[in-house]
Chains A and B, each alone.
Chain A
Amino acid sequence: MKVLVPIKRVIDYNVKARVKADNSDVDLANVKMAMNPFCEIAIEEAIRLKEAGTATEVIAVTIGAKAAQEQLRTALALGADKAIHIETDEKLESLHIAKLLAKLVEQEAPELVILGKQSIDSDNNQTGQMLAALTKRGQGTFASKVDINANTVNVTREVDGGLQTVALKLPAIVTTDLRLNEPRYASLPNIMKAKRKPLDVIAADSLGVDLTPRVQLMKVEEPAKRSGGIIVEDVAQLVEKLKTEAKVI
């Protein structure tokens, strides 16, 4: 089976995002960028399916500016067979991304699409579900286990209060949660090899998708700061403060 893995270039998860002085957005100038951690888990899962003989081809795709090709090369170094860059300098929303991916799903006809459940910049948690809706496929979101059978895939999902397993008809869409797997690191020989793997570029506006903004970003602010409190001496003082000052116990 062919597996498509959409990935996103985001701020490195170790870097603290800072708001621009004019409150127009988060400042990403000269900030270290990386593959979204949930997308790394998605790539890893696809590669494991290939190693197990279940997947025949793993295609990584990203949508964004030219710089995002860096993350596609990472995906290739990790083991993806080929990469597709849908190029645009516009700041797109989840619905736009899902529509562009739906076009690609039409062309490539993957039996499984694995995406990260959310990106750590916009924190929307939408794209996989929207892609499933647009391609009329079943969705297994927040996956901690993926089991492929003949015509179905069983997905164990991390839900509030426990784990839920659903069986989806193939083709299907899966989004990854943290415990699905532990992503590998790319080895130096594989990084070198990745430079020769195919990377196709498609202009986003050639796919016939209306990319008009649906949501306007009005303002971005720092969150309200909590003022630090006091350091207590011992447990007795802590309990006393909680009882008489904070009155929470």
Chain B
Amino acid sequence: MKTLVIAEHDNGALKPETSKTINAASKLGFDIDVLIAGLNIGAMSEQVAGIEGVTTVLTADNALYQHQLAENMAELVLAIADNYTHIVASATTTGKNFMPRVAALLDVAQVSEIIEVIDSDTFKRPIYAGNAIATVKSLDSKKVITVRASSFDLQNQQSPASINALDTLSDTQLSDFVSVEQTESERPELTAAEVVISGGRGMQNGENFALLNGIADKLGAAIGASRAAVDAGFVPNDMQVGQTGKIVAPNLYIAVGISGAIQHLAGMKDSKVIVAINKDPDAPIFQVADYGLVADLFEVLPQLENAL
């Protein structure tokens, strides 16, 4: 019994999801190898080697994997899959993209977005936008699993594990990278931030999201949005917190002008402390908030910025 974790990175920096996914994998109770695929990944490989619980780091350092396209990633994982009983990646847009492809090629089911490891076959995962938690047991001999990283802790450090370069290369030639448009931001990423402040439909338009900037600056917060705000065209979808967007669990979550639709709650209700600012005292967001402020957001946001 042995576990393979696939590292999450953006080809420049290792993502905290990697450490949290290794934490989840460590609960399976087997030795863990980590595969990292990308281009010029030497420094990141060394970082991975220093994460507690890692036995060996396997690197695939080639232009073929620079953008971690699903078709070639799946072939790469498939090439070494024989050595492992459990294959685990974080449920980011990268992991969600290639892991089901791996599972289908191995002819096994995938268990998606686990939030708890019960034993090496059995896991808890949210269904129905987090309105129910299913306990599922995988009956396949090989398990393919994605992990909701926000449900797990960061691992400690260790003295570096060994790093082995893989010489497997396989180009499916099914897809080519064309371009990427990174959202430019000085702020931390939503899924990694200690503090998140999100705006909803109550913000009224995209310009008003600027009211959150000053507060976010002072708190070192990431800025998010509800699906309603995204659907209304106020802000881009990559800011969306919710079941169909990003799942966050910061120390402090501030929901501004967000009513608290089920699908939004599913994305933030594991936050340690939740603050809700809404002028509607009956908004469902207050049922999950530790601190509620019933007020007009346009009045209190400037006050909050000054008070911090």
Contacts and interface: CB of A to CB of B under 8 A. Distances in A.
Interface of A: 11, 13, 16-19, 26, 93-95, 98, 118, 120-134, 136-142, 144, 154, 157-169, 172, 177-179, 213-223, 226, 228-232, 234-236, 238-239, 241-242, 246, 248-249
Given A167-B176, A215-B138, A246-B273, A17 B128 contact: yes
25 contacts: A95-B110, A129-B70, A130-B101, A130-B110, A133-B101, A137-B174, A158-B238, A159-B93, A159-B94, A163-B181, A166-B178, A214-B108, A215-B139, A218-B122, A218-B136, A223-B132, A226-B269, A232-B292, A234-B293, A235-B303, A238-B275, A242-B275, A248-B273, A249-B195, A249-B219
A41 to B, nearest CB: 11
Interface of B: 10, 67, 69-71, 74, 92-94, 96-105, 107-113, 122, 125-140, 172-183, 189, 191, 195, 219, 227, 230-231, 237-238, 240, 243-244, 246, 251-252, 262-263, 269, 272-275, 281, 286-295, 300, 303-304, 307-308
Given A120-B129, A158-B93, A218-B136, A165 B292 contact: no
A161 B187 CA distance: 11
Contact of A138 (B133, B175, B180, B304): B175
Nearest to A37: B244
A41 B216 CA distance: 34
Given A133-B101, A223-B131, A236-B307, 14 more contacts: A94-B100, A125-B113, A132-B71, A141-B70, A158-B237, A161-B182, A161-B189, A163-B181, A165-B177, A177-B237, A178-B240, A178-B244, A228-B287, A246-B291
Contacts of B70: 129, 132, 139, 141
Nearest to B182: A162
Nearest to B218: A249
A162 B238 contact: yes
Nearest 6 pairs between A and B by C-beta?
A: A229-B290, A138-B174, A129-B100, A214-B109, A17-B128, A130-B104
B74 to A, nearest CB: 6
Given A222-B132, A235-B307, A133 B100 contact: yes
A178 B230 contact: yes
A169 B237 CA distance: 27
B178 A220 contact: no
B182 A133 contact: no
A129 B98 contact: yes
Contacts of B244: 118, 178
A242 B230 contact: no
Interface centre among B107, B131, B177, B191 (most CB of A within 10 A): B131
Contacts of A216: 136-137, 139
Scoring B10, B108, B291 by chain A CB atoms within 10 A of each residue's CB, the highest score goes to B291
A6 to B, nearest CB: 15
